[in-house]
Structures are given as structure tokens and as C-alpha cells.
Structure 1
Amino acid sequence: MTAHHDTRRRGRWALAVPLALLATLLAGGTAAAGTPAAPATPVLRLPTPTGQYAVGTTWLHLTDPARPDPWRPESRRELMVSLWYPSVGAAGAPAPYTAAAVSARIVAAEGLPLPPDVLTTVRTNARRDAPVRPAARGWPLVVLSPGFSLSRESLTGLAEELASRGYVVAGLDHPYEAWGVEFPDGRVADCLACEREWPDVAARLVEGRAADVSFVLDRLTGPRPAWRGARFVDASRIGMVGHSIGGASAAQALRTDRRLDAGADLDGTLFVPVPAGAVRKPFLLVGSDRPADASWQRDWPGLAGWKRWLTVSGSGHMSFTDRPVLGAQLGMDPGAIPAERQLLITREYVVAFLDAHLRDRARPLLDGPSPAYPEVRFTEPS
């Protein structure tokens, strides 16, 4: 879990694995000896959510007037946020996966022979600006933070599942920390942090993202919310889930913002040490099939509330994102675990964790190994 946090090299490896597979197939190659090439016009789509609710989505552009951007101090911090939520029916047009400019920057940054707009062709399951389904108590809120160099669309499969199960989900883009973040006026923030040496920026990323999350919570749960559907959010039940550096940021945010009630880290090294007893709220660690992360061992005593450390055998760093699913749809072998099962495991364990700690629902899946998911090991640090 440690090597793939190495700034530009890490981000390149993380995206090149699935997208390089796409490139091979789109060029008419084969995935392996004896495997036929993919069709010339592939259809990319995310698996259908399994919850009872239709899913709506909308985008927000937020500016924090009180905080300079950590990468461009001459500007105020701007954020792009995708909201996914339970909706009424299937009104609205199908939501785009990402913007063309973002897709183009991902393809260019990885040096892949792909159409620049390839990621705009992904079919999602959410409807743009569909009406929010009312809830008497309000829906619990979950904040998602993507990995370094990744943008908010990389966790769409998880976000749609959560929304279909009755959560409002806020997926954050952290500008200048991803290959591309597009603002409504057409400006695109490139990855300035990718130009820095990793040891010098890791703690800065974690601390800055925790501040981003707090600002978004202000705008969604404060007295003058930025979204008209915010009246259906239950501000007393808020969780955060992050992938890679986003997961490390979840641990930090639980320490700095008391509104957060639970956090989950999907394969992210804890770059800011967690002092003993510092996190007293529920925390879930889910790791890929690699040697144990030294920071998780180090900071296990810092997690003083309910906690679990799960390891998914046969998984990789990107298994907790949409990327393996997109590659597999083009005929590629994603590894030891089928691609859609990788996403299924992430969905089921994250939902179980949030249901248990934001909804007080019994979830035996978190009590120990399950025959339904033999890939998942419960780790007990020494």
C-alpha cells in the first residue's frame, strides 16, 4: 500500500493499469493469447445499483471566501462536488460520467492512445437533477474523497450504490490534486500537486482535504445551504469514505470535524500520524492484497473506537474504484477477482459499515469472515 503514493509515478501506475487495457483493445489488440479483440465501438457502463431507490445527481461549484487555495494562494479555494441521492422516479436525462476536458487530461497524462473523450462515453445509472425523494428524518450524508491524481468520477459506482440504499453522497473534487477538474465557466484546474515531490506534499494534501470536507459540510448542513435538496439531509448522521490519500484524509477529518460520525479508508496510507486514542469514532480500514501498511500498524492504537482492518485477497490499489470494471468490459482480465465482484465487495462492506454506524442497523458482515466473501480477511495487527 505504500509504493503507490509516490506522486506522478503513483498516479500514472494507478490509472494506466485499467486504461492501458482499454487502449490495447481500442487499438484492435488482444487481452491475452487466444482472446479475441474487443469490438471497435465498446460500450462502457457501471453496474446497476442494488438498492430500492432510483438515483439522482447534480453538480455544485463552491468557493470558500475565507481560505486561499493551498496550491494557488492568490485564489480562493474552489471545489466541484457531485451529489448523488435517492430520487423520485426516473425523471431527468442520464447523467454524464465526467466532462470531456477531464477525460482528455486523464488520457493525456497517462500517455495513452485513446480517444480523448473516452470516459464521457461511460453510461451511469443516475439522472441529472432528478427530484430528491423526501425522507421524514432525512437521509444520512456520506462524503467521498478520491485518490491522488484521480477525480470524483472514479468513485461513481460506489456513490450510486449508496444513493440507491438511502444515502445522500457528496463526491468531492480537490482541484490541482487531480489530472483535471473543470469548473462551470470552462476553466480547468490541472494537477499542480503532481509536480511536487511526494514526501513534501502528502501531509499537506491530507490536511487540505480535511478542510475541504469541513467547508462542504458547512455548505450542505449550515443555515444557508448551497443545494435545494439539503433540507432532506440528516446533519446528525454524517460519514466519510476515501480512497488512497482520500482515505488518509478521512482519518484526519474525523479528528478535526466533530460533525463526522464515522470514517473509512480504502487502501490509503496514513501520512499524518494518528496519536494514540485520537480517533474515538468508528473507523474502517480496507486494504488491497499487499504487505501490511506500516502506517496502519503504527496508528492502530490511535483508533480508539469501533474498528476493523479488512484485507481483500487478490485485489489491487484500484480495486476500490470504477477503473477495473471499465477495463473488464473491453475483454480484459482484471486479475484474481472479476472486476464487477471487486466493486461488489467494496459496495457491500462500505454499506454495511455505514448502515451499522449511521443507522444503528445490525450488520453481521462486519463481525467476522463471511462464506459469501471468502476474499475478505479480517486482520488483527500485532
Structure 2
Amino acid sequence: MMTLRHGGRAVAVLLALAAALAPGGAVAAGAPATPALTLPAPTGPHPVGTTWLHLTDHDRPDPWAPEQSRELMVSMWYPAAAPVGAPAPYTTAAVSARVVAGTGLPLPPDVLTTVRTHARRDAPVRPNRHGWPLVLLSPGFSLSRESLTGLAEDLASRGYVVAGIDHPYEAYGVEFPDGRVVDCRACDEWGDGTAQKVIAGRTADVSFLLDRLTGPRPVWRGFVDRQRVAMVGHSIGGASAVRTLVTDARVDAAADLDGTLFTPVGPTVRPVMLVGAERPQDHSWVRDWPDLGGWKRWLTVTGSGHMSFTDRPVLGAQLGQDPGAIPAERQMLITREYVAAFVDRHLRARPAPLLDGPDPAYPEVTFR
């Protein structure tokens, strides 16, 4: 996907030209979005359910709004007992409007509410004797948790509980159940030290969420296996995943999807996978590679871009945008397959030959 750069940070252009939405390439002011967007179906054997959690850490002030406690919105995707209930919304109208405004594209503000998902809202969780392994997802800077829905639904269909985390004030918009919407204060404050502040805050967010999911009085008692936890993130969410691996012993493995490691990792022997878009080597990955002393992989996806690891290429292609050298759905397929292989190997001790070296089925993926 195309990116615009402002003040040294990449701001993703999330969707495409409006020509696909209206005859003649114009979108009338206030026109409703065309309900024509959809994500690829999950590939696993389980139907998928989802629910949203609103959590408050009363012991920690918000790093961007210190006058209040830190609040999180979390989407939980999971194997469902049955495909019952209404299809889950992709996001809210308020968040969609802020994403569209943030990109500056001439799209209907509610366009993201038209995305068809494959999860059923509040479907009952499928029982599992020891609980399901947990995968935490952290989105890129300025993005919201819905940007990784395609990956989350697929992991849930394969037998994982997936927690997608919104980090308030670091996304174009985060909406709470009472209708409050907070905007991206961090976007306006970007400068020296902002990335480190974002990563520190996200590691604290994840540790708090793990307290609530796996602690003495978990909100998801019986459904999450506290002994099997991985974190995956995109962009600065990927940097936060690797950092959390070092700072929180409950995280067993971390995957970074095209995220610069603004904070040096330091020595670790737990599994790390770095997956990068095609571009010059990230200097931070080169710097920290020797400190990754356990199982590790550095993969490059030839023909990909920074947003290739999110939903955006798929949605953009449906709106008429050229996805680049790799077809949009194949970009998502590559992300799904390699992330699933990573968590299968390290949370379930399953063979993952896809991670042992180049595979002729995925010639785009090269190994360092």
C-alpha cells in the first residue's frame, strides 16, 4: 500500500480511490458507503466468535491523558461452539469516520462499517479442556485494532483465542461503550522519544491485559491457557511485541511484522520472528539480531509493502486500488500462513516446515 510520510513517521493510506464507490469516480457528500467490502474467509476448522472488552487500569494514569486512568478496548476472537448470532461489525461508524478523515481520502465516512467479517458477535466459546492458547495483537501507529481482523479471524478458526488491543490516543479513533471517542494525541506529538513512549505504554497495556486474562480472577476463566501466550504486532506494534517478550515472562514468543525496533531488545533466548517488507534492511534489526540468542527467523516478503501485513491491501483492492506486485489476497495469505506456523510451533510444539527454509509454494518469502 502507498504511504505518506509526515515528520519522519509513516502514516498509512488505508483505502483506495473513491472511483469504485460511485459512477464517474465521484462520491457525493454524505453519501452512504457501498456495502461491497469483505475479508477472506478464515481457513481453520472452527467457526469464529468475537466480543469486545472495555478494561480500566485504575493503578496507571494514561500516558497521553494523565488526568485519567488508562482504559483499553480489546476485541476477543475465539473458536466458537457454533456459528450462531449476527455477523460482527468490523468497526464503529465513529472510528471509520476518523480513519477516513485521517487519511484525507474522498471516501464516505462510514465506509469501514460495510466490511463483512466472518466472526459472529458474542457466539458461545467452544470448550477446551486446558483452555486455548492466546495470541495478543498490537496494531501499527495510528491504526486501530480492526486493521488486523483478517489475521485474527484466521488464528481463531485454527484454535487460538486472539486479543486485539486498541491503544487509546495512538490511533485515529478509539470508541468506548459509552460513546466517547478519543483521537490520536500521539500523532500530533510525534518527535524525539515518542516511539519509545509508545512502546513503553504498549508493553504496560499488554501486561495489564494479561493480568486480566490470566491472573487470579481472569475475565475469561477456563478459556485461555496462561501457559501458552504469544504476541504479534504490526509496525510499532511489532516493536512492542518484541519488547514485551523481554519485559513480561508470560509471553513465550513474539513476531514483529515490519516494525522498526526503536527500543533495543537486549539479550533474549525466547523465540522471535521478524517479517519485513521488501526494502533496504532495517538498521535496528541488524543491530539487535545478534542479541536474539534463541530460535529466530528473519523473513523478507519480496514485492510487499509496509501495509501488506494488515487488512488494507484486501480492502483497497476492492475499492479499485492496485495492490502492487503481490495480489491483495495473497498478501493476507502469506501473513496468515507464516504467523500461524510460528504460533503453532512455539505454543503447540507442532512441526512447522514452512519456517525451516524457503518453500516453493511461497517464492516471495526469503530467509536471512
Would you say same fold, with TM above 0.5? Answer: yes
CA drift at 1:114 = 1.0
Change (3 A) 1:301 1:5: farther
Q: Which of residues 205, 225, 234 in structure 2 aligns to 1:234? A: 225
**Structure 1 partner of 2:75:** 82
> Equivalent residues in 2 for 1:127-166 (5 A)?
127-166=120-159
The unaligned stretches of length 5 or more in structure 1 are: 31-39
Secondary structure in 2 matching 1:208: helix
> Equivalent residues in 2 for 1:1-382 (5 A)?
10-12=9-11, 14=12, 16=13, 18-19=14-15, 21-28=16-23, 41=34, 43-227=36-220, 230-275=221-266, 278-379=267-368
CA distance in structure 1 between the aligned counterparts of 2:150 and 2:227, rounded to whole angstroms: 25
Identity fraction in percent: 72
Secondary structure in 2 matching 1:115: coil
Secondary structure in 1 matching 2:155: helix
| Contact 2:19–2:319 under 8 Å retained in 1 | no
Secondary structure in 2 matching 1:258: coil
The unaligned stretches of length 5 or more in structure 2 are: 26-32
Matched residue count: 360
Query: RMSD between aligned alpha carbons?
Result: 1.7
Letter of the 2:186 partner, please give it.
Answer: A
CA distance in structure 1 between the aligned counterparts of 2:7 and 2:114, rounded to whole angstroms: 26
Change (3 A) 1:372 1:68: same
Change (3 A) 1:356 1:144: same
Letter of the 1:270 partner, please give it.
Answer: L
CA drift at 1:8 = 6.7
| Contact 1:274–1:299 under 8 Å retained in 2 | yes
Secondary structure in 2 matching 1:218: helix
Q: Which stretch has the larger CA shift, 194-203 or 103-112? A: 194-203
Secondary structure in 2 matching 1:74: coil
CA drift at 1:222 = 1.1
CA distance in structure 2 between the aligned counterparts of 1:337 and 1:294, rounded to whole angstroms: 25
CA distance in structure 2 between the aligned counterparts of 1:136 and 1:337, rounded to whole angstroms: 40
More helix by share: 1
CA drift at 1:274 = 1.7
Secondary structure in 2 matching 1:199: coil
**TM-score (normalizing by structure 2):** 0.95
Q: Which stretch has the larger CA shift, 44-53 or 326-335? A: 326-335
Secondary structure in 2 matching 1:198: coil
Change (3 A) 1:29 1:325: farther
CA drift at 1:138 = 1.3
**TM-score (normalizing by structure 1):** 0.91
| Contact 1:64–1:215 under 8 Å retained in 2 | yes
Change (3 A) 1:63 1:258: same
Letter of the 1:325 partner, please give it.
Answer: V
